Amino acid sequence: MRPQQQNRRMRGRNNNGGGGNNNNNNNNRKGPNPLTRNYESNGPDVKIRGSAQQIAEKYATLARDAQSSGDRVMAENYLQHAEHYNRIIA
């Protein structure tokens, strides 16, 4: 291989061209901030849109309403949905 062609040859996924360690590899691959990102939840009965915090609060409210009406199964279901979105927030 000629010395001029050696610089054009790139291996792997790190195409920084330098060949050295690139510690900033994932800076361009980060997703949006989960706190400000809008989600769309297809829940058991309703479709809820909003931020993770708004959806978690809505499912917690639905769980309280289901619990007060005596439907323990739906209350637990809503609480599990709320827990999912609370984990995204944390």
Two tokens, residue 57? 């609060």
Convert the pLDDT of each residue in 5-41 to its tens digit. 565 665 666 655 555 555 555 555 667 777 778 888 8
Convert the pLDDT of each residue in 63-73 to its tens digit. 999 999 999 99
Contacts of 60 (CB under 8 A, 6+ apart): 78, 79, 82
pTM recorded for the entire structure: 0.61
Q: How far apart are alpha carbons 23 and 29 in whole angstroms?
A: 13
Q: Are 56 and 86 in contact (CB under 8 A)?
A: yes
Two tokens, residue 72? 């323990």
